[in-house]
Structure 1
Amino acid sequence: MAADFWAGYISGAIGILVGNPLDLIKTRLQAGTANQPSASPNATGSQLHLPWTKQFEHWTSLGRGAAAPILGYGALNALLFVTYNRSLALLSTGDLHIWPERPSAGTIWAAGALGGLAIFFVSAPTELVKCRAQVSNPARSSWEVTKELWRAGGVRGLYMGGTVTSVRDSVGYGFYFWSYHLSKEAIMDESDGHRSHAVKVLLCGGLAGVVTWASIFPLDVIKTRVQTWDLSPPSANPEAQPLLSRQPAAAAAAPNIVTSRPSTYNIALTTYQHQGLSPFFRGLGICSARAFFVNAVQWAVYEWMMNALAS
């Protein structure tokens, strides 16, 4: 297959591995479950209610929800980069195989947006399973969540919240590629040595990640709440009807996970009416830190692999 496919696949999988701990915290903040106390028995056998940060007392907790994105995000990232590169060539030169020397900023954004739309079939179920696994209480594996969604609604169940996910991806990846190339044009120089070039790639990748998430963060909050609406506490989502927190597996597969879900607009409106604008930016700091680190590594791996596979 093409070099950009494998470079995208491996860089995407590595990005998930290094970023999942902070992504877990971000998702819980967005869904509102980070405000729930975590019960833990003390020496007398009674329950102590600990702050949400104590939910991570075991290091394996930081990997919750990672299985779905590790399996899916490599393929997603491969498809993203292949679609972006082909779209950019087609929009700039009219030929899928002729790479433009200096594409315009608008063309770069449009190609990135097309790449974001192309990953819908992988991104929507991957994001859904990841988010639900991350906020489920008690903990559930990605495979358990997938089976639950399939029983509840089949293919439709796996694409719950798919529309807002596709909008988020399209807008976000437009800014992702646009900001990365803009940063490279601003700081890269042909006289840069190998080490200097590598550092600048890391910096440009990190900046691209921060710009991207800043541009779509309210959309991402809405997406998370749509995908976890039945798992959120009433204080965070007054329309939520918890299905997994205190019910056996059979009850968790109730069909109203999919068929009785409020619309995306209603979930967003209810959140605003009860909590104002603050929930739409909750977790932005954690997300920005994660975005810089993950995308710096991801772009560095991608650029390195493209050079290695081309040689």
Structure 2
Amino acid sequence: MAATGGYDGAWTRRARTVDDWLAGHKVVVSATTASIVSTFAGFPLDSLKSRLQSSRENLSMARLAAEVVREEGIGGLWRGFPLPLITISIVRTISFTIYTSTKRILNSTADSPTSNEAPWFDLHLGVLNKNRTADVALTSLIAGGASGAVVCLGSAPFELVKVRRQLEYQIYRDSHPELFAPSPPPQKSVPQPPKVVPLTHTTPADVAAEAIECTVASAKPRPPPTPQFVPPTTLQAVRMIVRSLGPMGLWTGFPLHFVRDTLGTALYFAEYDVMRFWLGGGRGDGKREDKFGSTTTQADLPAWARGWLPAQLVPFLCGSLAGVTSWALIYPVDAIKTKAQQRALSGLAPRTPYTQLRRLVRGTDGTKPWLSGIGRLYRGLGVSMVRSMLTHGLLWTLVDWTSGYIDGRPVERLAERLA
């Protein structure tokens, strides 16, 4: 595309090449940028969520956060962060790529207009492409499910290492119960009158020697000091998992991970796309182009939303609601998965998902009230909902903004202004 200012020099041609590359990799660039920012912002809440799920105590989020900061420092809230920063960005980029490509395969026909991005699989089914809610929902369910199923194969080991880093102190306590056993209550002793022991020796040297013997005999041996907890690094954590569980141990809890990611991702993308569709994000209608070919992803809001909802907040609102509701539906699966992984990492005997679910809901003796048990199953949901609202709202806002920014050919614009 030629610059509109009439100048088409070397810098403009280079800028055009950069913009063409960005347009051809828009999904990758947008998803990676959004993932880095949203992961950093939401990681402390994700760490607190994992700790609440595995804790045996009924703690509030504020109290747990205070304990983490007191025992581990403020960095404890970001413990294990570098690995998720890399892996989540990669996973979300792959997830978005599979999701958008699957939607294109389902909806497009052979004569459909093509985008700047080269398809990874040139197939056109031409189904579920009508401009109605049912087609949008079914397309996103299929595309999201395919994305979650494929991505979880590679993300399961990284998820396990993340859980291992987040729950290091609790795993240490579970694997060393003798160090954290409660002390017996002190016994009340009846005061006894001082016992006078007649001395058998009268010389000063004998008296001193006998006093030393009495002191040594009455001295109680001190227990060995408790070894200080030293958290391992990420690489050390991986080695510990492989050493204790074997190489396939990195996929501990994979069946539950597969169910969680496949179902959760399908619901997540379907809810987001349906809400965007209801708020004016139709399939190709209502889009406007500027002189550089930039297209806005948000069309005019429907009449019922114009009075209270700014168009700029639509991605954040839809992303937040989709993240919260889909996560709430699959939260029990995530809670059981986290407990199963914690037990495996602590060297404890495994339990079936049904047994773990029954123990969480009904307690170890099976007498816990149902409502209380369900509340235990959803422990940490509050902090998880806050995390989902923040991370997914930011994610879609940044994805939307970055995509629009790339569509506007920013490098060519800059070259035109400097020409």
TM-score, normalization by structure 2 = 0.59
**Alignment identity in percent?**
25
The answer to whether the aligner puts 1:268 opposite 2:357 as a matched pair is yes
Aligned-pair CA distance for 1:72: 0.7
| Residue in 1 that maps onto 2:252 | 160
Q: Is the 8 A contact 2:48 2:64 kept in 1?
A: no
The answer to whether the aligner puts 1:110 opposite 2:165 as a matched pair is no
| Residue in 1 that maps onto 2:318 | 204
Instruction: Trace 1:281-300 onto structure 2 (pairs within 5 A).
Output: 281-300=378-397
CA distance, structure 2, for counterparts of residue 2 and residue 15 of structure 1? 20
The amino acid that maps onto 1:54 is: E
Change (3 A) 1:309 1:19: same
Kindly provide the CA deviation profile for residues 162-201 of structure 1, in whole angstroms up to 9, marking residues without a partner as x: 11111101111111111111221223462369x9432211
Q: Is the 8 A contact 2:164 2:237 kept in 1?
A: yes
Q: Is the 8 A contact 2:316 2:396 kept in 1?
A: yes
Kindly provide the CA deviation profile for residues 216-265 of structure 1, in whole angstroms up to 9, marking residues without a partner as x: 1111111111111256xxxxxxxxxxx4xxxxxxxxxxxx57xx533334
Q: Is the 8 A contact 2:252 2:344 kept in 1?
A: no
The amino acid that maps onto 2:394 is: V
CA distance, structure 2, for counterparts of residue 6 and residue 286 of structure 1? 29
Q: Is the 8 A contact 1:172 1:212 kept in 2?
A: yes
Instruction: Trace 1:76-87 onto structure 2 (pairs within 5 A).
Output: 76-87=91-102
Aligned-pair CA distance for 1:206: 1.0
Q: Is the 8 A contact 2:41 2:391 kept in 1?
A: yes
Change (3 A) 1:173 1:264: same
Change (3 A) 1:265 1:6: farther
SS state at 2:343 partner: coil
Q: Is the 8 A contact 1:68 1:130 kept in 2?
A: yes
| Residue in 1 that maps onto 2:197 | none
Change (3 A) 1:101 1:4: farther
The amino acid that maps onto 2:138 is: G
SS state at 1:229 partner: helix
Counting helix residues as a fraction of each chain, which structure ranks higher? Answer: 1
The amino acid that maps onto 1:270 is: R
| Residue in 2 that maps onto 1:59 | 74
CA distance, structure 2, for counterparts of residue 118 and residue 51 of structure 1? 35
Instruction: Trace 1:51-200 onto structure 2 (pairs within 5 A).
Output: 53-57=66-70, 58-93=73-108, 102=131, 103-137=135-169, 138=229, 139-188=231-280, 190-191=299-300, 196-200=310-314
Kindly provide the CA deviation profile for residues 68-102 of structure 1, in whole angstroms up to 9, marking residues without a partner as x: 21121011001111111111122233675679574
| Residue in 2 that maps onto 1:215 | 329
The amino acid that maps onto 2:101 is: R
Q: Which runs of 5+ in 1 are unaligned?
A: 37-49, 232-242, 244-255
| Residue in 1 that maps onto 2:26 | 3
Q: Which runs of 5+ in 2 are unaligned?
A: 1-23, 111-120, 170-228, 281-297, 410-419
CA distance, structure 2, for counterparts of residue 106 and residue 13 of structure 1? 29
| Residue in 1 that maps onto 2:343 | 229
Q: What is the aligned length?
A: 272
CA distance, structure 1, for counterparts of residue 109 and residue 235 of structure 2? 43
Q: Is the 8 A contact 2:141 2:266 kept in 1?
A: yes
| Residue in 2 that maps onto 1:277 | 374
SS state at 2:158 partner: helix
Kindly provide the CA deviation profile for residues 3-56 of structure 1, in whole angstroms up to 9, marking residues without a partner as x: 2123222322222111011111111111125659xxxxxxxxxxxxx9773222
The amino acid that maps onto 1:205 is: G
Kindly provide the CA deviation profile for residues 116-155 of structure 1, in whole angstroms up to 9, marking residues without a partner as x: 1111123211211111211111434333221211222343
SS state at 1:269 partner: helix
Q: Is the 8 A contact 2:136 2:273 kept in 1?
A: no
CA distance, structure 2, for counterparts of residue 261 and residue 68 of structure 1? 27
SS state at 1:277 partner: helix
